Structure 1
Amino acid sequence: MKLLLLIPSLGSGGAERQLVTLAVLFKRKGLDVEFLIYRKDFFYLNILEKNNIKVNILNPKNYFDRVIKVRRFIQGNNYDIIISFLEISAFLSCISSVGKKKWKLITTELSSKKSTFEGLRGKFFGWFRRYSDYIVCNSFNAMNMWEKYYPEYHDKYKVIYNPVILNEISTEYSFKKNGKINLVIAASYQYLKNPIGLINSVALMNDDLRNNIEIHWYGRKEVKTGDTKAYDEACELIKTLKLNNTIFLHEATHEIADKMNEADVVGLFSQLEGLPNAICEAMLIGKPIIMTRVSDYHALVSDNGFLCDWDDIDSIRKALEEVASLTKAQQLFLGENSKVKAEKLFSTESIVDQWLDLL
């Protein structure tokens, strides 16, 4: 079975990490797997090279040229199945499937954004999804949104959670490293991920509790090439509110599993999410979770962490103060609950079997 995975780039985002993980799992099952990308960002390239997975790179001159080159590439090769990740790639794979096609096309929904469905752009892209054989959502929240806007595609919808493969962990965990609760966040610096809301919430914390917590955020600074607006504003706000000893902003790292293993708690404060990879990984490592009510939060967090509302800084403050008040016994109890929950939800064997059934 010859399989093509289409995504804009191999950058450090969650969608890229998820597709690379799937590629490795498919390869281990004996599938012939290739990537097609059209943007030069190679954060995860080394993983694919280690697993002998071919990466095809296009260099389109403009948007129209990108459509032509992707369509020619797909139609000029004998693939049995194409899986596309992210909105533009889904459109490109669908428009490449107009007319006669021999391949099965699977597009995905990873973000659950209303903009995916509303406005001229969303409706235009949504219309082309009819050329998908299946639309795989990585959360029930995402599927429910598709059902709401496109009930006519009902028979195409499937929900498959993200598989989680952890990189080898080389760090050791100790409670309250440096004498403070260590909270780690793995997310790109964009307003959707809510760094500004988090910083303003920390400023409202009880002084003693704020002094009992360190927050380390790891992520890509550029949302698009040259666009670091959210990161720059976050840095400036940290200085203005004098939170330099509480919140630390870092670049994305390949060692994020090590960073989460060292942490007491792992967090996510987004406005919207599909199924958040970082939270899934943190749960499997055995960490308590603090997150906003996004995605399938009801399945992810119950007796293993804390929930808050992304647009209510007082709600985030209260949850952060609970995190800062954790005892060692509480941290271990919540972390063990996370691990048990993750092993049920994100078993790679179960999830790969679901994908193989679909393929």
Structure 2
Amino acid sequence: MKRILCFIDSLGAGGAQRQLVNLAIGLKKRDYIVSFLVYHVDDFYLPILQENGIEISNLEIDCHLKRVIRCCKFIRKGKFDVVISFLETPSFISEIAGLPFHRWKIIVGERSAAPRIVKTIRGRCYRLFHLLADVVVANSNCNRLLVKKANPFLSINKNKTIYNLYDLDSLSPDQFIRNKVEDGKFHILVAASHQRLKNLSGLAKAISLLAKQERSRLVIDWYGRQDKKCFEESLSLIKQLGVEDNFKFYVATLEIYQKMIDADAVGIFSIYEGLSNTICEAMCLGKIVITTDISDNRLILQNDKLISDAHSPKSIAVSLSYLLSLSIDKLNTIGRENRKRAIQLFSERFVVDQYMALFD
């Protein structure tokens, strides 16, 4: 049976880490011998890997050069059949570890749609090293095209799109009981840190453009880490626009799936972003989603009226107004359709099958 190494910076609570852990568990279920390599101590996902019998090696070294050399030696001496790496630095290390030749498959994952991939020298340089990989897997078509733009020498056959993997059994509306807030309001949940790219200011401006009756019905329940300066600037704008009653802010919570179930809809209003875990998870839970036109959102949601231009508060306001006009039956219908598409696109079996096809 093939030996698979999953390589990432740490086991911290990030989106890329969550996806690689999910993939590793899915491959383990197919009887592959799966192990993990990290170089920073952050053990958020360690218990999950241990529960599934997946071995973890940590090569934490303060010196960056020594760390790269140690990781390269580990990969070359590990007798692995496949090395799968996520994020820039692990992907770079796994690629140069294959020099001057290698007998194992090198698969690197691209998870970001940040403009710096194309606009900065560092971003372009990292993508040039993808020529040393056997396959480059993006988690959205938008990201795949961005990588191709950063490295025009990358062949089409080497550049693939495979969506994120989710446990559709646990992420099922049947696993939760909805605790709807009976306050006569329409609650949209946003799960995002307070960075400028998450576009809280654009959302606030959009809400200020709504009719008074619409505005009186709407509440944004925002869960996420608060960057002090950016958050305070947004709060100041919200007060200036007179939409304080439309926002409630909470710290990040491990109970976010239950919070999604309790909400009337889930929203993401980012200026740019890779394939959003929040959107995919909301679809798995059968929730209606309102979002901006980033990544593959338009393709996977297939509902243009709920997709807006992140740079246009008026466009966001039009989508919000449409959402508020929908009947309960229509909301439930769209939610069920989202769940069906999630089963088609994000199921463990479908995603793992696509990765397995790359191993031969």
In the alignment, structure 1 residue 330 sits paired with structure 2 residue 335: no
- 1:262 matched residue in structure 2: 262
In the alignment, structure 1 residue 180 sits paired with structure 2 residue 185: yes
Once residues 96 and 219 of structure 1 are traced to their aligned partners in structure 2, the CA distance between those partners, rounded to angstroms, is 37
Once residues 41 and 233 of structure 2 are traced to their aligned partners in structure 1, the CA distance between those partners, rounded to angstroms, is 27
Provide the TM-score with structure 2 as the length reference: 0.88
User: Could you say what secondary structure the match of 2:70 adopts?
Assistant: helix
Q: Which shifted more, 146-155 or 209-218? A: 146-155
Q: Shift in Å at residue 324 of structure 1? A: 3.0
Once residues 7 and 200 of structure 1 are traced to their aligned partners in structure 2, the CA distance between those partners, rounded to angstroms, is 39
- 2:318 matched residue in structure 1: 318
Q: Shift in Å at residue 345 of structure 1? A: 2.0
Once residues 232 and 14 of structure 2 are traced to their aligned partners in structure 1, the CA distance between those partners, rounded to angstroms, is 19
Q: Deviations over 1:202-241 (max 9, x none)?
A: 33333332221221223344xxxxx654344445544555
Which amino acid in 1 is paired with 2:201? I
User: Could you say what secondary structure the match of 1:267 adopts?
Assistant: strand
In structure 1, runs of 5+ residues without a counterpart are 222-226
Note if contact 1:210-1:324 (Cα within 8 Å) is conserved in structure 2.
no
Measured at CA, do residues 344 and 249 of structure 1 come closer, stay the same or move farther in structure 2, by a change above 3 Å?
same
Structure 1 moving runs of 4+ over 6 Å: none
- 2:195 matched residue in structure 1: 190
In the alignment, structure 1 residue 23 sits paired with structure 2 residue 29: no
Note if contact 1:303-1:337 (Cα within 8 Å) is conserved in structure 2.
no
Q: Shift in Å at residue 30 of structure 1? A: 1.2
- 2:353 matched residue in structure 1: 353
Which amino acid in 1 is paired with 2:28? K
Q: Which shifted more, 286-295 or 56-65? A: 56-65
User: Could you say what secondary structure the match of 2:193 adopts?
Assistant: coil
In the alignment, structure 1 residue 215 sits paired with structure 2 residue 181: no
Once residues 153 and 126 of structure 1 are traced to their aligned partners in structure 2, the CA distance between those partners, rounded to angstroms, is 9
Aligned pairs, how many? 354
User: Could you say what secondary structure the match of 1:211 adopts?
Assistant: helix
In the alignment, structure 1 residue 163 sits paired with structure 2 residue 168: no
Measured at CA, do residues 38 and 214 of structure 1 come closer, stay the same or move farther in structure 2, by a change above 3 Å?
farther
- 2:55 matched residue in structure 1: 54
Q: Which shifted more, 107-116 or 284-293? A: 107-116
Alpha-carbon RMSD: 2.5
Measured at CA, do residues 111 and 306 of structure 1 come closer, stay the same or move farther in structure 2, by a change above 3 Å?
same
Note if contact 1:110-1:273 (Cα within 8 Å) is conserved in structure 2.
no
Q: Which shifted more, 64-73 or 130-139? A: 64-73
Note if contact 2:109-2:137 (Cα within 8 Å) is conserved in structure 1.
yes
User: Could you say what secondary structure the match of 1:178 adopts?
Assistant: coil
Note if contact 1:288-1:304 (Cα within 8 Å) is conserved in structure 2.
no
Provide the TM-score with structure 1 as the length reference: 0.88
- 2:297 matched residue in structure 1: 297
In structure 2, runs of 5+ residues without a counterpart are none
Once residues 330 and 46 of structure 1 are traced to their aligned partners in structure 2, the CA distance between those partners, rounded to angstroms, is 41
State, as a whole percentage, how many aligned pairs show the same letter: 36
Once residues 187 and 282 of structure 1 are traced to their aligned partners in structure 2, the CA distance between those partners, rounded to angstroms, is 13
Once residues 32 and 40 of structure 1 are traced to their aligned partners in structure 2, the CA distance between those partners, rounded to angstroms, is 23
